Structure 1
Amino acid sequence: MDREKLVQTLADWNFWYRQQFTGVPREYTEEVVKVLEGGLVCDIIGVKRSGKSTIINQAVRKLVEEKGVDPLLTLIVNFEDPRLSEIDSGEKLFELFNTYKEEAGIKGKPYVFLDEVQRVKGWEGFVRSLIDRKEAFIAVSGSTSRVNKGRVKEVLAGRHVSVEVTPLSFKEFLDFKGVKVERPIDLLAKGSEMRSLFSEYLKYGGFPLVVNSNIKESIILQLYDDIISKDVIEDCGIVKADKLRALALFYVSNIGNRISFRRVSRSLQIPLRTVERFTSCIENSMLIHFVKPLSPSLSEMVRGERKVYSVDTGLSNVVGYRLNQNLGSLLENMVYLELKRRYGSGSIYYYRGKNEVDFVIVRDNEVTEAYQVTYTLNDERELKGLKEVLRKKKVDAYVLTFDDKEREEDGVRVLKAWRWALGYTGNE
């Protein structure tokens, strides 16, 4: 690649001579900088358009404005820029890095951010080389979880920490709307506004591009197609794209439901092995997540059906096929995503005994919390699963509703989901 063209392209993305877009501050920025300063590679992973590139810009601005780092000692390389399509191997990454050092005339250890790095074959070898020789601080980002799995995990073993970026939480959604909630009294004073905003959040989700747009559905539809086309079909080399699209649509339309690959295979007339392979590809794009069962029966845990959830409620609501709008499923999906932010996916199960509980949290091999989600609590049967869990072990048990009166019944706390999502549990 021509050196002059390369430097001009890099200058367009960097803070060397001008400010770049940094948007509304998000909680991930501090974590990214801490990982870098610790000398480890920071893997910034997340579904497409969840805000990874903006967080990179926020991290660079923090380094420059708060840490006093020379802007020329920061390098952002965005591999979605078609002008960088020639940088397609680890060897060419070394050429790019050397060109940057020579042309910028830098003296010191630069901070290097490789955005959408999965497009470059062999990038992990380049990163390991620089980290092992302590030649740079490095962060990489990617829209598929393969950025921190498989061979990458082996090559960078002990050298990297992952930061998963999700679409906006409800708290971040309010920040993007310019709505401040700092004290419990704010929730009481703004109750009507909160309910309206929470309803919007459930229906259209938390992708940053969508939140303040007046063409929400069009953006969501295009975003979904981009994820399927680029991060699933293209990334996995799928030939039978129509079957893949049918399977993905099935998953985002069935959030909160138990899934059996064999039944899916029969229903969609797709071979079982193909369902399993396609599902893995869809999971790698971080479009969907699965929750395993926790049961008194070991065989149920091993063979039990998994429940499926979407990375964003807006995707399921706008893209998914539905006979009527199921706000209860959207609410359950939202709760899953918030629990995932708080505890990580490895701590979340659903309970399946004589009765079922939507979510239980397991920490240090002990169940610590249990959650039942329902749009409104008008049937005592919703409490049976929680009471079954409570008979086995004393845990924090909750029913999360859209807007029911908050109260406590037989050791179970009934909370408004929008208040819970903001960190309020009724004890304030």
Structure 2
Amino acid sequence: MRLGDLSYMNPWWEGREDYHVRRWREQKIRWWPSWLERLSLKPFSLNFVLGPRQVGKTTGIKLLIQDLLKDNPPESILYINVEVLPSHRELSDLLREFQGLKEKEGIKTGYIFLDEVTSLEGWWRGVKPLIDAGLLENDVVTVTGSSSLRVRRDIEFFPGRRGEGKTIEVMPLSFPEYVEIMGLRKPELQREKVLKLFNTYLTTGGFPASINGLPMDDLLGAYIGEFVRFGKSLEIAKETLSALIRSTPSATSFRALASMTSGYSYKVIQDYIEFFTELYILGIAYLKQGNHVLYKREKKFFFRDPLLARLFSVWSGAELREDALYEWVVQEHLYRRFGEVYYYRNSYEVDAVAGNLKVEVKAGKAHRRYPKGVRVLEKEDVPFFLLELTHGSASRF
């Protein structure tokens, strides 16, 4: 494969507008992703952008390219969807050819975007030797991936070779970010509008396509494609997710979930759940008592976005409980705010513990008293707690 074969991925070389940018312009509800502001654009930088499928990583990259074209020649920007490459050797050849083009055109700084690298085993072998040889010292390289563990593992292959590069996680919009892009100013003064928006958010989640009312078959298909790509059985995936959803919102164990399947071992169920966490489908809240985290005890599993919960509930055939959905949203927002979330259980149970907060979530009215310091959220309290917890900064329109 030669560089010229990638012109369809790099339409700016021929003065054409990119497909993703055009689709973004056509959306009724659109925003400039704030995470782009955190990327390093100073040579040399090796940036990593992690996040689930369909969250807008590729569109964000294409919007950044559109911005870079204002001050840089089209030939200085290279975008490669790594999924089309058969091996790391082709990637290395393309990057070296790009260096030759830069030299020919008298271009000093290049901007290289490698999208979805987790689809190519050993992709880093096509990049690391070029960094070591100093061939990319005047460039900014940005890498994206949809599997957190695999990309984080690959990052370890670049010790001391990142330059000014950053590692950024891109997630579906939080509820405060969703409120912001919907144009609701001073939400604390507009209770009914906040409640209405929250009900919609519980349906659409924070994915750009679903917010714009597009069918979600593509999103589910993207995840199923990942299951197949990494050699996972769709039957086991369905049974694992079904068991997990049916067990919620209670804490559970891998063994207990395995007992709810048609005979898979707890090791198999554990492997699948860990895989789902890699793909940003699930998060885990471990039991914490005092300063001790009990990793081997029962765990609370939560979906990272309301839409994912709904999609996988339908796909696995398990009924989604409203009280679980509210608890998951709170756990996810606490996780984003503090970088960790736990639960507590003694003579009573607290759904979510993070930072200095202890939060119990009740879809209906709370019927018992909790110790001092435990914040009990009833259904209508949840969206205002989320707004209080995090102040969204999703966009530059």
Global fold match (TM > 0.5): yes
Note if contact 2:337-2:389 (Cα within 8 Å) is conserved in structure 1.
Answer: no
1:299-336 deviation per Cα after TM superposition (whole angstroms, max 9, x unaligned): x8143111101121122234316886632221111112
1:42 aligns with 2:55: no
Structure 2 counterpart of 1:92, which letter? E
Q: 2:178 aligns with which of 150, 173, 180?
A: 173
Query: Alignment identity in percent?
Result: 23
Matched, 1:340 2:335: yes
For residue 47 of structure 1, report the CA deviation from its aligned partner: 1.2
Equivalent residue in structure 1 for 2:155, among 153, 156, 162: 153
CA distance in 2, matches of 1:325, 1:315: 11
Pairing 1:281–2:258 present:
no
Q: Could you tell me how far 1:16 is from its partner in structure 2?
A: 6.7
The answer for the alignment partner of 1:409 in structure 2 is none
Does the 8 A contact of 1:167 with 1:312 survive in 2? yes
Distance (Å, rounded) in 2 between the aligned partners of 1:70 and 1:277: 47
CA shift for structure 1 position 55? 1.9
In the alignment, what sits opposite 2:188?
187
Structure 2 CA distance for aligned equivalents of residues 109 and 44 of structure 1: 21
Q: Does 1:24 align with 2:31?
A: yes
Structure 2 Cα separation of the partners of residues 196 and 63 of structure 1:
38
Mapped to 2, the partners of 1:19 and 1:28 lie a distance apart of 23
**Following TM superposition, by how much is the alpha carbon of 1:289 offset from its aligned partner in structure 2, in angstroms?**
1.2
Q: Secondary structure at the match of 2:156?
A: helix
Q: What CA deviation, in whole Å up to 9, does each residue of 1:377-411 have, x standing for no partner?
A: 43234x24xx3xx4xxxxxx5333332xxxxxxxx
TM-score by length of 2: 0.83
Identify the residue that residue 325 of structure 2 maps to in structure 1: 330
Partner residue, 2:80: 77
The 5-angstrom pairing of residues 77-116 of structure 1 reads 77-80=80-83, 85=84, 87-103=85-101, 105=105, 107-116=107-116
SS of structure 2 residue aligned to 1:44: strand
Secondary structure in structure 2 of the residue aligned to 1:359:
strand
> Retained in 2: the 8 A contact 1:204–1:315?
no
Equivalent position of 2:386 in the other structure: 421
Residues 202, 127 of structure 1: CA spacing in aligned structure 2 closer, same or farther, 3 A cutoff? Answer: same
Determine if contact 1:41/1:131 at 8 Å carries over to the other structure.
no
- Paired residue type of 2:377: L
Q: Does 1:398 align with 2:375?
A: yes
Q: Unmatched 5+ residue regions in structure 2?
A: 25-29, 391-397
Task: Report the counterpart of residue 252 of structure 2 in structure 1.
Answer: 259
Q: TM-score, normalised by structure 1?
A: 0.77
Q: Compare 101-110 and 319-328 and name the one that shifted more.
A: 319-328
Q: Give the aligned residue type for 1:128.
A: K
Q: 1: CA distance between counterparts of 2:13 and 2:245?
A: 39
Q: Match for residue 357 of structure 1?
A: 350
In the TM superposition, residue 247 of structure 1 has moved relative to its aligned partner by 1.0
1:117 and 1:123 in contact (8 A); partners too: yes
Question: 1-side partners of 2:375 and 2:138: how far apart?
Answer: 50
Cα distance in 1 between the residues matched to 2:167 and 2:220? 24
Residues 40 and 138 of structure 1 are in contact (CA less than 8 Å); yes or no, is this contact kept in structure 2?
Answer: yes
Residue of structure 2 in register with 1:140 after alignment: 143
Alignment RMSD (CA, Å): 2.8
Cα distance in 2 between the residues matched to 1:3 and 1:30: 29
